[in-house]
Amino acid sequence: MSEIRIVDIRDEAAFALLPPCADPTFDHRTCDYWEDAERGSKSHRASWLTAARPAPEADRRSGEVALNPFAPPPRTGPAPNPFAVDDEADPLADNPFAPRRPKPPRIESSAPRKLALLGRGLAVFGSYAKVLLLDEEPAAYAQFGPLSAYPRALHLRELYPQLPQAPLPAVITCVATTAAARGRGLGQRLVASVCDDLAARGFAAVESYPESDTPPDATSAATPEFWIEAGFTRVVADERFPVMRRELE
């Protein structure tokens, strides 16, 4: 019997498990289609798989900025993370009788760009993606999160004022199964796991935005029929941009 294990994307080791897209021109590891409403793309961008190296100290201090007495000093460390909780902000940090709070998970600044996008709210929301392993081989991938994390989903939702505005739903932006693992219900099983996870985080509903009349390998949002099988209802029957929704318990 095959063994199934579902892994949350919380670090580079888990990020490395992301399976390849069925269409080689796409890549889950570099796609920012949903995160960037204006320039987002699903295309393969190999340069995104490694983080850009910071400029040498000498280069950062050279140029016109160095000659501008009104310019702020160059930043030498990583950008501050507004979601992080450090010891200085913790009122119990100096209390010797209080138990130490575990440090929240975070993605290092040296991580690939897509991983940084997946980890930007990790300490507050939790993971934004899961990989399903079949006998320890990556077989399916799903990406999800709060609506506010995905500008393209926000823009699409603005087309339909009839959709409920409160409470706002979580969204599943992507679900994909490798060609070799299709036909086993793995995508459905992964979506069920995501829905259970989102319900446990307090969401009352989840939505997805599939693409109609699109070849299966050219979309990561699946088809309306897939979502209906996963317990979703077609709440907007637009021919091009339908909206699928499932109430969570």
Summarize pLDDT for 77-86 with one digit per residue, the tens. Answer: 555 554 544 4
Q: Note the pLDDT of residue 105.
A: 76
Tokens of 120: 């930007």
Residue 84 sits at φ, ψ, to 5 deg, of -75, 150
Q: What is the pLDDT of residue 96?
A: 72
Tokens representing residue 212 in the block: 């109609």
| Extended strands (E) in 114-202 | 129-134, 137-146, 170-177
- Does the pLDDT at position 127 exceed 70? yes
Mean pLDDT of the chain: 85
Mean pLDDT within 156-170: 93
Contact, 9 vs 127, CB < 8 A?
Answer: yes
Task: Indicate the SS3 state at residue 248.
Answer: coil
pLDDT digits (tens, 9 = 90+) for 97-120: 777 666 767 888 789 999 999 998
Which pair of tokens denotes residue 235? Answer: 């709440």
To which H or E segment does residue 244 belong?
strand 243-247
pLDDT of residue 70: 56
Q: Is the backbone peptide bond immediately before 167 cis, with ω within 30 degrees of 0?
A: yes
Least confident window among 35-39, 135-139, 219-223, 225-229: 219-223
Among residues of the chain, what percentage have pLDDT more than 90? 60
pLDDT higher than 60, residue 64:
no
Residue 182, classified by CB atoms within 10 Å of its CB into exposed (0-12), middle (13-18) or buried (19+), is middle
- In this prediction, residue 192 carries a pLDDT of 98
Task: Calculate the alpha carbon distances from 176 to 39, 128, 132, 158, 190 in Å.
Answer: 22, 15, 10, 26, 10
